[in-house]
Amino acid sequence: MRERESMVNADLVREKALELGFADVGFTTAEPFEHQTKVLAERRQEYAWVKNLGLDLEAGVDPAQVLPGAKSIIVLLELYFGQAFPKSLENHFGRCYLDDDRVTKDGLALRVRAFRSYLQDQGIKVKIPWNLSHRLAAARAGLGDFGKNCLFYSNKVGRKSSWVLPIALVVDAEFPPGEPSMEVGCPSWCKNACLTACPTGALQGPRKLDPRRCISYLSYYGEGLTPLELREPMGLWVYGCDRCQNACPRNAPWLAAELPMNPRAAAKADDFELTKLLHMDVGYFKNRIWPHMFYMSEKDIWRWKMNVARVMGNTQDQVFVPELSQAFHREPDERVRAMCAWSLGRLGGPEAKLALQSARAPGQGLVAQEVAWALEKLH
């Protein structure tokens, strides 16, 4: 009788999730993710920065630590790339950040809240822990498997692509668990296109990522002036990186789909123009940028600008020479000015050379050194 009741509940829960616009839903047990304990212990150094951000991944291994009396995990799948994004955004920002409402709470957050309230109305206790691996929970619920690029691939949503965000809810009610699918699901004919596409060597082998070398991490947490050897490989990415997903043949069917434009992303595309980002002041950052991409706070505005300056150089578009030259003279932060100098050197041409010559300053400081190197390159 009890089992039949659970089944009924599971069907109703599934129905509710789909009604709220989630692309898929699954269930798994609340058993600890034992294997993850070993993985985290082996990779403690690589993930030390996560702890510094206040996220204790080790504590998230056991759902019972998150919610005493936990019996199941419900996993919702959100297709975050269900609508198209403006090219001007896709070229420079990871797609998962293009309609991210974790601060504004006016999109996905409303649906998650509605789902949570629905469960609570049934007398079910719910916790959404951000230190538990939502991807592992999704795979254990049988909603998909992994790629060698460490990403989770749905077994049906988005033409079985990785453009999905799993959201795991730990609950104190029992639901029949799905068949786990924790393995790598890549076709044998793919010769590791993701590993080859990764420009900074972050993907060191199948399912082996060093997050500290990943462009996503470097773009919002990288310390100091971006090292010379990473500036070209980091290419056109300002915030996040989708290269290993774009290169993956498992994602090709969805990338080929004709999608309607995402109006929310389209509405903010102008605010994210490279030129505006390079010259923005704190007010502009706080009002127009931070609510949508918030991993860097106001005190890190220099990193935003440094990234944009690097990207301008990598565009190989002369149109940015006056912008970089202007920023070089106006920006107070030497890391931004140093990157402007590097980018002027990378763009080259008579105008860039003139700008660098007029910027030449005595001394051996960071900026003077970059200007000297850039001029040397141009000669």
Residue 352 beta carbon to ligand SF4: minimum distance, rounded to whole angstroms: 28
Residue 195 beta carbon to ligand SF4: minimum distance, rounded to whole angstroms: 7
Q: Which is nearer to ligand SF4, 148 or 353 (CB)?
A: 148
CB 125 within 8 A of CB 69: yes
Asked if 244 is part of the footprint of ligand SF4 (rule: CB under 6 A), the reply reads yes
Stretch that binds ligand SF4, among 131-139, 146-154, 270-278, 344-352 (CB under 6 A): 146-154
Distance (Å, whole) CA 360 – CA 354: 10
Torsion of the alpha carbons at 21, 22, 24 and 29, rounded to the nearest 10: -140
CB 294 within 8 A of CB 102: yes
Rounded to a whole number of angstroms, the distance between the first and last alpha carbons of the chain is 83
Q: How many CB atoms lie within 10 A of CB 172?
A: 17
Site string for ligand SF4, 314-353 (x = CB under 6 A): ----------------------------------------
Angle (deg, nearest 10), helices 334-347 and 366-378: 0
Distance (Å, whole) CA 83 – CA 265: 9
Q: Burial, 83: exposed, middle or buried (Cβ in 10 Å; 0-12, 13-18, 19+)?
A: middle
Residue from the set 161, 216, 226, 343 that interacts with ligand SF4 by CB under 6 A: 216
Backbone angles phi, psi at 24, to 5 degrees: -160, 165
Q: In which residue are the tokens 């470097």 written?
A: 218
Residue from the set 92, 243, 303, 353 that interacts with ligand SF4 by CB under 6 A: 243
Instruction: Count the helices and strands in the chain (H runs, E runs).
Output: 20, 8
- H or E stretch at 153: strand 152-154
Q: Which is nearer to ligand SF4, 65 or 192 (CB)?
A: 192
Asked if 219 is part of the footprint of ligand SF4 (rule: CB under 6 A), the reply reads no
Q: How many residues bind ligand SF4 (CB under 6 A)?
A: 25
Stretch that binds ligand SF4, among 5-13, 247-255, 325-333, 345-353 (CB under 6 A): 247-255
Q: Which is nearer to ligand SF4, 135 or 243 (CB)?
A: 243
Distance (Å, whole) CA 238 – CA 240: 7
Asked if 95 is part of the footprint of ligand SF4 (rule: CB under 6 A), the reply reads no
Q: Which is nearer to ligand SF4, 148 or 303 (CB)?
A: 148
Site string for ligand SF4, 175-214 (x = CB under 6 A): -----------xx--x-xxx--xx-x-xx-----x----x
Residue type, 24: D
Q: Burial, 3: exposed, middle or buried (Cβ in 10 Å; 0-12, 13-18, 19+)?
A: exposed
Q: Which is nearer to ligand SF4, 72 or 149 (CB)?
A: 149
Q: Which is nearer to ligand SF4, 39 or 230 (CB)?
A: 230
Q: Which is nearer to ligand SF4, 126 or 197 (CB)?
A: 197
Stretch that binds ligand SF4, among 109-117, 145-153, 291-299, 348-356 (CB under 6 A): 145-153
Residue 142 beta carbon to ligand SF4: minimum distance, rounded to whole angstroms: 19
Residue 64 beta carbon to ligand SF4: minimum distance, rounded to whole angstroms: 32
Angle (deg, nearest 10), helices 321-330 and 350-359: 10
Distance (Å, whole) CA 278 – CA 272: 10
CB 232 within 8 A of CB 215: no
Residue 218 beta carbon to ligand SF4: minimum distance, rounded to whole angstroms: 8
Q: Which is nearer to ligand SF4, 187 or 363 (CB)?
A: 187
Which residue ranges make up the site for ligand SF4 (CB under 6 A)?
147-149, 186-187, 190, 192-194, 197-198, 200, 202-203, 209, 214-216, 241, 243-244, 247-250
